[in-house]
Every structure is written in C-alpha cells, then in structure tokens.
Amino acid sequence: MKNKSLFNQMFFVILIISFFSAAAYAAPNLSLIYVIQQGDTLSEIAAEYNVDLNKLKAENGITNTASIKMGDELVIPQKNIKKNKSNLKNEALFEEYSSQKKELSFTINTHYAARINPGHQAPNIDKIPKDKIINYYVGPGDTLYDLARDFSTTIGTILALNNKKDSFLRSGEKIRLPVHNLTSHQILNKRVSKQELNLLARAIHGESRGEPYLGQVAVAAVIINRVLSRQFPNNFAQVIYQGGQFSAVSDGQINLTPNQSAYRAARDALRGSDPTNGALYFYNPKTATRVSFFKGRRVITKIGDHLFIE
C-alpha cells in the first residue's frame, strides 16, 4: 500500500515537471532587437553583445557597413549573447542564456524593442480612414521610433503606409502618417503650417502683448478652441478674420511683427495648454465698447485684464 502511494506521488511530480517543460518549450521565441543610436558602428555593437561581426551582418543582410543609420533596427544573433554590463548602450537590453533556461533582463529608464515573431504580417492599414492620414515632411533627426511615439502608432504601420522596406528617412522626405489615434487638438497641432503659426502669433501679439505670458497663452487657446468648435470656422484664417471678432484685426495691429513670446505662447497652446479651460470668448472690460453680448455668459477665469468666457 505504501509502495502504491509512493508511486502515485512520484507519478504526480513527473507529470508536473512534464507539463512545465512542455509549457517552456511552447513559449514564444523572442528576438533581441537593437535600435541604432547616433555614433554607433557595427563593430562596436558586435563587441558589446559578444557577437561575431560577420554573423551580425549576415543576420541583418548588411553588405555595406556604411549603410546603417540612426533609428535602424538590428536583430542581434541569439546564440551565446553576453551583454557587457560595464558599457551599457542607451537601449540597454540584454539576454542571459544558460543550458536550462533563458531569462530577459530590462534596465529602467532605457529604450528597448522586442519582436515575438520577426516574420509577422504587416498591419492592416485599410482600416485607417483616408481623412485621418496626413502628409509629413521629415525633419532633421526624425526617426521612425520618434514618429511612431509622437503619432501614437507603430513603426510597422508607418512602414506599411509608405510601402517602405527599411527605416531609412531622408530629411525633407514626404511620408504619410496616421492621425486616427490622436485627439482633434493633437491633429491640429500636427497639421498647422508655418503660415498658420505666424498668423496665430500675430493675433496673440496684437491682442495681448501687454498681458502676462499666461494671458497670451490664454488668447491663443481661445482661437484654437474656436477652430475646433462647430460654432466657428475650422481654420485659423477664417476664425481670426471673422468680422467683428478681434480688435487687433479691426485696428490693424494684426499686421505688427510678433515677438518671440507670442510664438512661444502659440506653440504652448497648440501643444494643449489652455489656462481658460475651454473658453470661446475674451474681452477687456476696461476698454471694450460693446459688452452687452457677454452679459449672461459664464466667466470662466480672469487673467491679466481679460475675462475669459464660455
């Protein structure tokens, strides 16, 4: 009886070990991806990961070492990877392998990327509405990683939208980017042109150059709130030049050259700063001649000499 009980216990233990062994075997195969940073060379990357340079080049199909660029992703061959901890790169991701198990170790406050299936299918871009795709001109230092983060999308989606096979970006290049994951305010910020930014700065300068900086941001926010509101036109020029709305247009101060404070206030407001909490109107009760329109409307806040109203 005791032998039978002991046999049952041993069988149960073996069954558990077999189950976890199978689970470990079925676990996804992770690939170590290194995102190239400014100043990196293939030889340095190979040395850091204790990988043969020729194997690193073969794994990534590289024939010309001068062809690597900042933001490119390198697949690090997984065999015998040993990260040199004394000289961690900015992405600082390394894998330690043993004969029995594989462990991943991540360093805090660093960049890393991982792919469970490097041969995965390209994302379906047909579901992105055509009016939610904008043209973007690549600026100096732009990388796919940064653009994916800023536009709340993925590198794969950007590659698919532009039919690109690699992550190379050329300054000034026109690419398509999705904005379907952004708020209407974020989309406006991404789409604003230099001419519109200049017009917004001129309106801020003409209306509030004597106001505290927060008051200048507030004036910019009112204009932006109008552009985003269904009650007003949907572009800066029509909102600002709408008849009888802004005194700076009526008295010609809209044509003054804006200072740097006005431009900074415009950019802050475009990035989402709104000290007015959604106001659509403002006026100076000391100088306004027609205040009957504002009677009965709720005053949200007062900044400097301006009252901001719903």
Question: Could you tell me which residues are beta bridge partners of residue 248?
Answer: none
Structure confidence at residue 115 as a pLDDT band (50, 70, 90): very low
- Which of 7-11, 73-77, 226-230 is the most confident on average? 226-230
Residue with the bigger pLDDT between 291 and 54: it is: 54
- In this prediction, residues 92-99 reach a mean pLDDT of 39
- In this prediction, residues 26-32 reach a mean pLDDT of 55
Distance (Å) of CA 2 to CA 5, 6, 7, 161, 265: 5, 6, 9, 69, 83
Same domain, 208 and 304: yes
Query: CA torsion 258→262→267→273, rounded to 10°?
Result: -160
Is 221 within a domain?
yes
Is 72 within a domain?
yes
What is the C-alpha to C-alpha distance for residues 240 and 219, in angstroms, rounded to an integer? 11
Domain count of the fold of the chain: 3
Same domain, 77 and 177: no
Is 212 within a domain?
yes
Q: Which residues contact 280 (CB under 8 A, 6 or more apart)?
A: 222, 225, 226, 229, 231, 232, 309, 310
Same domain, 170 and 74: no
Q: Which of 182, 199, 215 is the last residue of a domain?
A: 182
Is 166 within a domain?
yes
CATH number of 147's domain: 3.10.350.10
Domain that holds residue 111: 31-115
Same domain, 52 and 141: no
User: What pLDDT does 112 receive?
Assistant: 45
Same domain, 232 and 259: yes
CATH number of 227's domain: 1.10.10.2520
Q: Which uninterrupted H or E stretch holds 302?
A: strand 299-303
Same domain, 195 and 233: yes
Same domain, 86 and 165: no
Is 90 within a domain?
yes
User: What pLDDT does 70 receive?
Assistant: 65
Same domain, 200 and 303: yes
Same domain, 45 and 105: yes
Same domain, 210 and 101: no
Q: Which of 163, 182, 201 is the last residue of a domain?
A: 182
What is the C-alpha to C-alpha distance for residues 267 and 220, in angstroms, rounded to an integer? 9
Closest CA to 204 of 184, 293, 196: 196
Model pTM? 0.57
Is 13 within a domain?
no
Same domain, 242 and 262: yes
Instruction: Look at the block and give the residue holding tokens 């050259």.
Output: 257
Is 145 within a domain?
yes
Same domain, 109 and 136: no
What is the C-alpha to C-alpha distance for residues 301 and 276, in angstroms, rounded to an integer? 6
pLDDT tens digits along 226-251: 999 999 998 999 999 988 888 889 88
Q: Which of 68, 85, 115 is the last residue of a domain?
A: 115
Is 174 within a domain?
yes
- Which of 44-53, 58-67, 72-81, 257-266 is the most confident on average? 257-266
